[in-house]
């Protein structure tokens, strides 16, 4: 919602473009069959199209709107998401515009009780978190989509019907340029929390709704405070409710405040009440200069997801598959990980390189990530919006003790989540090999990054397909050479990184100070196998060729689990 | 005294919140007092128990 006298897209700082409907071949009676149709051109749908395009797969991207989503919405981009954006060639504008951060503060009745510090090891290329309004996220992704010949972007194109067959999906599309039928081998539903695809297929998400409601309001002000997450429990400006404040580019600040129990939603959303409450909160943080109201909305926490993210040839990605509470900032980040996860697998199948059974791993892997978020989100949501008297009393006790004592302060940790570890995935067949290691990243996890002597980063050297990291002193032995040859034959995109203490071969990754060896708990002969999304498919202290080839075969869809 | 690991402390917090909910508002003071007596007895140290009372009273006593 926006202030009186302003249109729904009348922003203080962002010009919403207007995208016309296009004449498409289907309207001329040509009915080409598309490999992939993506319903919903939000951040998740656009990213899915760009991941597919990275592997040469064409897609049609449909959206019923004529512009981007209104309002700043999902604004926290986590580190692994920056790696996804980098791999689809879209990271540069994000880095130019977004505000990176790693610290936060929690206050109780005006006094600081918790200092959040997200780990930022020196080898990491990206900060743990970046703030950027969703319109910019969509704009930058759309710039990449518009520049990509493999994506057929169709705005003002609304789904009015869907027919699922055994060998394809047929969509009815209505647009101002005409109505038509669109045939595709696969459909990706990236059409958001109220997914029309999900509704039309009669599928329902299951889970819990939480009581507490939050108003989320964007304001513009000159306010001198670093980019940090600030959480206020029991502030005088919003008695009985929690407040969160985040800084965004363009001098825009996000103020989230919890409504009191029993407070009317309708009254809370009136402009005069928004202005009064935000004004009181700004008084609390010492801002007495003018400010302008940009946009506001209302939110309540839910943990809901589909039982299966796949329905035949239809795949659900992002909010269409799962709704998570905002407090862990996993809505956008997990949605983009869905798009990345499905993207490389579907591309391998459509390129004729992988058996269709590879797609069976999408739902367990990404639904596992959602359930992991739920477990943490349930805890943080109970703390942010205590649902009952017991939880309210326990929180008040913990917060009031936190004023003078260290021991309860950790309860206020917002649990900004790490990427999910695919340890129980069918594509991670040898997790027991982790027992050979005393440290380093586990099978299924996202690996740490490291700086290289040439100023680049370790993960920059990974390929588009499978990547091997082989730690070695110099010349490879016969078994290692044979294994790398077999992997090259298995995967035309295969990249081998030979990690050596000093340059022994021309293509070596030189680990001068032993940092990479230490991070991965490696010794000469240690082998890590990375998937196209950089997650670790497996690791071996010394190579076991049959296991490594089987793991690569599973990830490439050449072997059945 | 050894401090509780963060995970256990969080589990204690959750168990306490749910136990309070199960008593209903009229009996919660009785439950919390009984809990304190049980913990004090298990603690077995009157000095530590008095110190815990002082910590919990801080900012609460009139």
Q: Could you read off the pLDDT of B42-56 as tens digits, one per residue?
A: 999 999 999 999 999
pLDDT bin (cut points 50, 70, 90) of residue B2 is low
* Residue A173 confidence (pLDDT) above 60: yes
DSSP secondary structure string for all residues of A181-229? EEEEEEEEE---TT-HHHHHTT---EEEEEEEEEEEEEEE------S-E
Could you give the ipTM of this predicted complex?
A: 0.94
User: Average pLDDT for residues A206-219, to the nearest whole number?
Assistant: 88
Say whether residue A390 is in contact with chain B using an 8 A CB cutoff: yes
Nearest to A407 among B9, B21, B25 (CB): B9
Per residue in B5-60, pLDDT (tens digit) is 888 999 999 999 999 999 988 999 999 999 999 999 999 999 999 999 999 999 88
Superfamily of domain A25-89+133-204+305-374: FAD/NAD(P)-binding domain (3.50.50.60)
Q: How far are the Cα atoms of A210, A420, A454, A561 from residue A368, in angstroms, in the given order?
A: 21, 8, 38, 18
Say whether residue B51 is in contact with chain A using an 8 A CB cutoff: no
Mean predicted lDDT score pLDDT of chain A: 93
Say whether residue B9 is in contact with chain A using an 8 A CB cutoff: yes
The CA distance from B13 to the nearest CA of chain A, in Å, is 7
Contact predicate A336/A46, CB 8 Å: no
| pTM reported for the whole predicted model | 0.93
Domain boundaries, chain A: 25-89+133-204+305-374, 431-555
Architecture in CATH for domain A431-555: 3-Layer(aba) Sandwich (3.40)
Q: How far apart are CA A368 and CA A321, in angstroms?
A: 12
A481 burial type by CB count under 10 A (0-12 exposed, 13-18 middle, 19+ buried): exposed
* Residue A431 confidence (pLDDT) above 60: yes
Nearest to A394 among B20, B58, B60 (CB): B20
Is B13 in Cβ contact with A411 (below 8 Å)?
yes
User: Average pLDDT for residues A144-171, to the nearest whole number?
Assistant: 97
Q: What is the pLDDT of residue A302?
A: 86
Best mutation site among A234, A392, A394, A400 for testing chain B: the one with the most B CBs within 10 Å? A394
Strand, helix or coil for residue A113: strand
Say whether residue A17 is in contact with chain B using an 8 A CB cutoff: no
Q: What is the pLDDT of residue A504?
A: 65
Q: What is the pLDDT of residue A385?
A: 83
Residue identified by tokens 């002193």 is A473
The CA distance from A402 to the nearest CA of chain B, in Å, is 11
Q: How far apart are CA A410 and CA A414, in angstroms?
A: 9
Task: Give the number of A-B residue pairs with CB atoms closer than 8 Å.
Answer: 49
């Amino acid at each position: 919602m926006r202030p009186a006298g302003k249109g729904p897209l009348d922003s203080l700082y962002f010009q919403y473009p207007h995208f016309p409907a296009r004449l498409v071949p289907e309207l001329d009676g040509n009915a080409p069959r598309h490999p992939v149709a993506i319903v919903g051109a939000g951040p998740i749908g656009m990213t899915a199209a760009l991941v597919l395009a990275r592997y040469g797969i064409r897609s049609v991207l449909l959206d019923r709107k004529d512009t981007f989503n209104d309002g700043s919405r999902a604004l926290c981009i986590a580190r692994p998401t920056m790696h996804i954006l980098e791999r689809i060639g879209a990271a540069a504008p994000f880095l130019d515009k977004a505000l990176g951060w790693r610290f936060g503060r929690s206050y109780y009745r005006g006094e600081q009780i918790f200092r959040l510090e997200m780990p930022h090891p020196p080898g990491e290329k990206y900060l743990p978190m970046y703030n950027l309004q969703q319109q910019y996220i969509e704009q930058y992704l759309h710039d990449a989509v518009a520049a990509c010949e493999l994506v057929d972007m169709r705005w003002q194109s609304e789904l009015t019907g869907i027919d699922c067959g055994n060998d394809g999906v047929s969509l009815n599309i209505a647009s101002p340029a005409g109505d038509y039928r669109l045939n595709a081998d696969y459909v990706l539903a990236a059409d958001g929390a109220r997914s029309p695809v999900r509704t039309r297929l009669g599928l329902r998400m299951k889970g819990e709704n939480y009581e507490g409601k939050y108003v989320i309001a964007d304001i513009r002000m000159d306010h001198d405070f670093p980019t940090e997450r600030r959480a206020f429990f029991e502030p005088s400006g919003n008695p009985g409710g929690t407040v969160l404040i985040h800084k965004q580019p363009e001098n825009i600040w996000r103020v989230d405040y919890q409504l009191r129990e029993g407070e009317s939603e309708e009254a809370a959303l009136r402009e005069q009440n928004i202005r009064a409450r935000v004004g009181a909160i700004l008084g609390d943080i010492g801002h007495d200069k003018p400010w302008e109201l940009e946009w506001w909305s209302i939110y309540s926490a839910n943990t809901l997801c589909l039982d299966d993210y796949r329905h035949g040839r239809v795949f659900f990605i992002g909010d269409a598959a799962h709704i998570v509470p905002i407090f862990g900032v996993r809505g956008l980040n997990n949605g983009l990980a869905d798009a990345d996860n499905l993207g490389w697998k579907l591309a391998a199948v459509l390129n004729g390189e992988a058996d269709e059974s590879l797609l069976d791993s999408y739902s367990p892997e990404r639904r596992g990530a959602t359930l992991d978020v739920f477990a943490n989100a349930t805890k943080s949501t109970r703390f942010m919006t205590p649902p009952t008297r017991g939880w309210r009393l326990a929180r008040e006790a913990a917060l009031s003790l936190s004023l003078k004592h260290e021991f309860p302060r950790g309860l206020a940790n917002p649990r900004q989540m790490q990427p999910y570890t695919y340890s129980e995935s069918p594509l991670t067949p040898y997790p027991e090999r982790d027992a050979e290691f005393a440290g380093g990243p586990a099978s299924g996890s996202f690996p740490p990054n490291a700086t290289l002597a040439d100023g680049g980063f370790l993960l920059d050297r990974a390929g588009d397909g499978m990547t091997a990291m082989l730690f070695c002193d110099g010349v490879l032995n016969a078994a290692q050479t044979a294994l790398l040859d077999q992997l090259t034959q298995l995967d035309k995109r295969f990249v081998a990184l030979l990690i050596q203490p000093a340059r022994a071969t021309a293509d070596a990754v030189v680990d001068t100070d032993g940092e990479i060896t230490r991070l991965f708990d490696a010794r000469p002969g240690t082998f890590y196998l990375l998937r196209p999304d950089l997650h670790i498919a497996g690791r071996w202290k010394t190579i076991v060729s049959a296991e490594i080839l089987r793991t690569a075969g599973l990830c490439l869809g050449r072997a059945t689990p | 005294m050894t401090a509780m690991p963060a995970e256990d402390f969080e589990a204690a917090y959750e168990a306490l919140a749910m136990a309070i909910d199960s008593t209903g508002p009229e009996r919660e003071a009785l439950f919390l007092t009984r809990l304190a007596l049980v913990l004090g007895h298990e603690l077995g140290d009157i000095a530590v128990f008095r110190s815990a009372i002082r910590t919990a009273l801080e900012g609460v006593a009139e």
